[in-house]
Structure 1
Amino acid sequence: MSNQLELKKTLSAFHLWVIGVGIVISGNYFGWNFGLAASGYIGMLIAIGVMAVMYLFMCFGISELSTALPYAGGPYSFARRAMGPFAGFLTGIGVILEYFIAAPVVAIGIGAYINFLFPTINPILAAAFMYLFFMIVHIIGVKEYASLETILVFIALGLIVLMYFVGLPQISMENLFGAEGTPLIPGGIEGIWAALPYAMWLFLAIEMLPMLSEECRDAKRDMPKGILSGIVTLLILSVLTTTVAIGLSGIDQLSTASDPLPTAVAATFGNTYWLAQILASIGLVGLIASFSGVILAYSRQIFALSRAGYLPAFLSHLHPTRRTPYAAIILPGIIGLLLVVLFNPNDLILISTFGALVSYISMNLSVIILRKKEPDLVRPYKTPLYPFIPIVSLVLAVIALFASFFANLTFFWVSISVFGVAIIYYFAWAKNHINVNAPEEQFSQESRQHPANVELQK
């Protein structure tokens, strides 16, 4: 591979933990609450539990894959190696859809939090400023981004923990479980199923870390540490955040709030209470941390697919001195800002989670297929309790994929249509322009010729 297409290696296990938690942490501040009307507290806890198992088990699998195949393609490269170029391409489209759509969702949340503090500020202008600022940061370099992300993540985590200390003694059992005679799960089983995409928002994006493999100092050692420490942190946060927020405000007000944490605190203590104001102001840091992370994620997947020839070549151009994929950062950012203007966040979440689940299904399948297809592939980390763990994660991802039926059937078909267009594009153009010199493609070709030869990874 030409040095002109190589990313700079600067990241450690600590950086991976920071980026992993940072890209997801906005899910605590915004988005998960949209599923509450159908699920209630108990139903949401069940949905969170189901999704927590899916993500934890998937993280074991992607830790194995990322150490065996340490490339920027991440999910695309796993599926490409296991199932061929078509499956790899569709997996990459799922990943791009996930993060490309997640960016405007989080941008809308940022606008809502700013509007809570300063009603005269246009939330769309605030979103535009965020897009511009972080596009510049990511073009400057991933190490610089990681340093900034570390500050943002520790502030965001500190604020959430502060909310736990202040809020836990004040939670109301009636807010959590409803008045006597109220059903614990308003929508029953369908309510839990409808809540799954929103419960995913508390974990969605941790799986982007393998896309940073090429930028790690030692991917084989650091990637499992970063991924698994990140998901454990998020599992703890998911239960505490939902319990405290619902316990402070109840379901009705929280289920439609664009700024659920300040809303929850204000419901008990008043709008002028210091913590409500701090969460609305400094709490923006959590959203900003995730927003910057999703830009990193979609730019790396677009870069990898472009480098391999599936997408137009200009999207893999690197800045001559910073070695960052500037075109893959800028163009999707402009389109994402248009989505901020045109769509509601709860609808966009469904498209983002649909794309994510397609890639989850593919990655779990890749773990299983590669174990059978290439048993001698060097795996510095191996999934425990194989094949139980990837099979369970795979089944749960398939179940969650169809949750959009219950949340919004229209956007389920919108998501299906996106993949339909992608399939037509693949056979009409991308299939005939694959770059066999891209690392993911090169490694897959050589593995077929010499199955036992895995030295290219080193």
Structure 2
Amino acid sequence: MAENKVGGVTYEHAGAEYFEKRQLKRHARIGSLWALGVGAVISGHFSGWNLGVASGGWGGMLLAALIIAVMYLGLSFSLAEMSPAMPHTGGAYSFARSAMGPWGGFITGLAETIEYIITPAVIVFFLGSYLTSIFETGAELQPLWWIGAYFLFVLLNCWGVAVSFRVSVVVTLLALLVLVVFYASALPQADFGRWALNIAAGPDGKPVELPEGHGAFLPFGWSGVLAAMPFAVWLYLAIEELPLAAEESHDPKRDMPKGLMLGIATLITSAMLVTFCNASIGGHAQGQLRGAFSLGTSAEPLLDGFRTLYGTGIAKLLSLFAVVGLVASFHTILFAYGRQIYSLSRAGYYPRFMSLTGAVSKTPHVALVTGALAGLAVLLTVWFSRGAEEGGAIIGGTLLNMAVFGAMLSYAFQGLSFILLRIKMPNLERPYKSPFGVPGAAATIAIALVTLYQQLQDPAYLKGVYAALGWYVAGILYFALVGRHRLVLSPEERFALEGKEAA
């Protein structure tokens, strides 16, 4: 390979054979893209978001969900403009590379790597917990469920893009059906004042239960709203993965904006419904929710909501409902990290062998296996080094915050990329233009940074942030010492170097 130095990086010019071994196959249309985006997020409507109720009360959680929705709207519209203009698999890395150079592209891509590897690892942990309960296997055997789930769904993703998208559509529709059944069941029995407003701030500032409800809308004031924001992220986290499917979409310039808009509209509607319905039901029998107060500490809020509505006699069937949502997100985020690792590897930022695709399937099987091994390594290290009980708590809290940390950094960089591209490349062909423009991208940056700051205020979650920073520093050192000297003129890199001149 011939070398070419540009700025502080070195490109090695790869021949046609290099890219022939790294080809993808087009399959996705609007429906597949919608399912990919919604499916990636949907498990967050089953659990995770509700922990913000303990921080801000129901009103604080609702306002936090609305503020975070503004951030994701700004992000989604920005992506809807950038992705058709730069329809490459790189997604966030691709946009940042064109806007901020190789270092900007790498640090943005690295942030998404943290998010997309850690998120499915946490999801598969919860999936293993549910399956352990359903099939009554020993708690010490949970790692076998994790390994089995990774094996099955990595295999499905490696099989072919058509199979991968079909599975995404089916599991996403099933997960949404479960949510619709819950909403239809809960709305007739909802007693908002009695159950959703049954939290007050105790003398020590911690939540206490109001037996008759009808408390303050914001029991912890605006500080509670801010504290709930990192948890509200789980109602929308990972919708931003859609641009990673650009090279596997038949018409990304037409379909990507529509898929993003339909996806975020679906998620905001469901987020408002689950926030209201889950908190507005309650009872006093064992195993039932007691409105917002018990919702704020529930590990399985949707499942507890079903138990409150239908009793505990069909608990295993209800648990299977919850598994559907976890499977939908697990499968679709595996797709995301596979393409994200593939694009950075194809360009030489990560070791190049990771971008090899199957001769027949044309799927990035090496990247998919690499991400699975990394996620499993994190899970097994925590589980066996800390024991089942403490390890489970770390996985459910610390690792979640690692994912949010990576996501917030990525969003801030993507918002900044949008603004810089509007300035640096004003004549770039943009098949779709964001109606919110620069103000929308600026709002995304501001809210992402506020959410990141709030993570640093909670000592319980600082370990996750520090762990993510350690991962980040290690990645930057690798790029500084090795990766920046081994770059390849992939489609993302070629556009960044030549697209500016054409624009």
What is the TM-score with the length of structure 1 in the denominator?
Answer: 0.93
5+ residue gaps in structure 1? 453-458
Partner of 2:159: 140
Partner of 2:99: 82
2:454 to 403, 406, 431: 403
Contact 1:34 1:346 in 2 (8 A): no
Q: Determine the C-alpha separation between the residues in 2 that align with 1:307 and 1:183.
A: 54
Q: Determine the C-alpha separation between the residues in 2 that align with 1:83 and 1:425.
A: 19
Partner of 1:264: 305
Contact 2:161 2:361 in 1 (8 A): no
Partner of 1:390: 441
* 3-state SS of paired residue (1:214): helix
Kindly state the Cα deviation for residue 189 of structure 1 after the two structures are TM-superposed.
3.1
Partner of 1:456: none
5+ residue gaps in structure 2? 1-15, 199-209, 282-288, 383-393
Question: Quick one: structure 1 residues 181 and 253, their matched pair in 2 at CA, closer, same or farther if it must change by over 3 Å?
Answer: closer
* One-letter identity of the residue aligned with 1:406: Q
1:127 matched to 2:146 = yes
Kindly state the Cα deviation for residue 345 of structure 1 after the two structures are TM-superposed.
1.6
> CA offsets, 1:256-297, max 9 Å, x none?
33322111222354211x4x5443113311110100011111
Kindly state the Cα deviation for residue 184 of structure 1 after the two structures are TM-superposed.
4.1
Q: Determine the C-alpha separation between the residues in 2 that align with 1:9 and 1:255.
A: 43
* One-letter identity of the residue aligned with 1:90: I
> CA offsets, 1:186-240, max 9 Å, x none?
5433332222121111100000000100000000000000011000000000011
Contact 1:55 1:393 in 2 (8 A): yes
1:295 matched to 2:334 = yes
Q: Determine the C-alpha separation between the residues in 2 that align with 1:294 and 1:30.
A: 17
Q: Determine the C-alpha separation between the residues in 2 that align with 1:296 and 1:266.
A: 33
Contact 2:197 2:292 in 1 (8 A): no
1:177 to 197, 210, 235: 197
Kindly state the Cα deviation for residue 319 of structure 1 after the two structures are TM-superposed.
1.2
Contact 1:38 1:186 in 2 (8 A): no
After superposition, residues 55-66 of structure 1 pair within 5 angstroms as 55-66=72-83
2:118 to 101, 125, 130: 101
Say which is worse superposed, 326-335 or 249-258, in terms of deviation: 249-258
* 3-state SS of paired residue (2:235): coil
Q: Determine the C-alpha separation between the residues in 2 that align with 1:344 and 1:388.
A: 36
Partner of 1:446: 498
Q: Determine the C-alpha separation between the residues in 1 that align with 2:280 and 2:142.
A: 29
Question: Quick one: structure 1 residues 383 and 123, their matched pair in 2 at CA, closer, same or farther if it must change by over 3 Å?
Answer: same
Question: Quick one: structure 1 residues 119 and 184, their matched pair in 2 at CA, closer, same or farther if it must change by over 3 Å?
Answer: farther
Contact 1:361 1:397 in 2 (8 A): yes
Contact 2:89 2:343 in 1 (8 A): yes
Contact 1:54 1:397 in 2 (8 A): yes
1:27 to 22, 34, 44: 44
- How well do the aligned residues superpose, as a CA RMSD in angstroms? 1.8
Contact 1:79 1:363 in 2 (8 A): yes
Contact 1:112 1:259 in 2 (8 A): no
Contact 1:112 1:258 in 2 (8 A): no
Question: Quick one: structure 1 residues 181 and 225, their matched pair in 2 at CA, closer, same or farther if it must change by over 3 Å?
Answer: closer
2:361 to 318, 322, 326: 322
Partner of 1:195: 228
Contact 2:74 2:436 in 1 (8 A): no
Q: Determine the C-alpha separation between the residues in 2 that align with 1:69 and 1:241.
A: 35
Percent identity, aligned pairs only, is 36
Partner of 1:339: 378
Partner of 2:11: none
Contact 1:70 1:210 in 2 (8 A): yes
Say which is worse superposed, 248-257 or 372-381, in terms of deviation: 248-257
* One-letter identity of the residue aligned with 1:11: A
Q: Determine the C-alpha separation between the residues in 2 that align with 1:124 and 1:26.
A: 20
Contact 2:174 2:324 in 1 (8 A): yes
* 3-state SS of paired residue (1:320): coil
Q: Determine the C-alpha separation between the residues in 2 that align with 1:377 and 1:259.
A: 47
Contact 1:99 1:297 in 2 (8 A): yes
Q: Determine the C-alpha separation between the residues in 2 that align with 1:385 and 1:325.
A: 35
Contact 1:21 1:234 in 2 (8 A): yes
Partner of 2:205: none
Contact 1:13 1:225 in 2 (8 A): yes
Q: Determine the C-alpha separation between the residues in 2 that align with 1:411 and 1:385.
A: 33
Q: Determine the C-alpha separation between the residues in 1 that align with 2:477 and 2:471.
A: 10
* One-letter identity of the residue aligned with 1:177: L
1:423 matched to 2:476 = yes
Q: Determine the C-alpha separation between the residues in 1 that align with 2:133 and 2:222.
A: 34
Partner of 2:89: 72
1:279 matched to 2:295 = no
Partner of 1:7: 24
Q: Determine the C-alpha separation between the residues in 2 that align with 1:201 and 1:403.
A: 15
Partner of 1:167: 186
1:234 matched to 2:273 = no
Contact 2:78 2:437 in 1 (8 A): no
2:427 to 372, 376, 380: 376
Q: Determine the C-alpha separation between the residues in 1 that align with 2:426 and 2:433.
A: 12
* 3-state SS of paired residue (2:495): helix
> CA offsets, 1:80-113, max 9 Å, x none?
0001000100000111111100011111221232
After superposition, residues 430-441 of structure 1 pair within 5 angstroms as 430-435=483-488, 437-441=489-493
Rg (Cα) greater in structure: 2
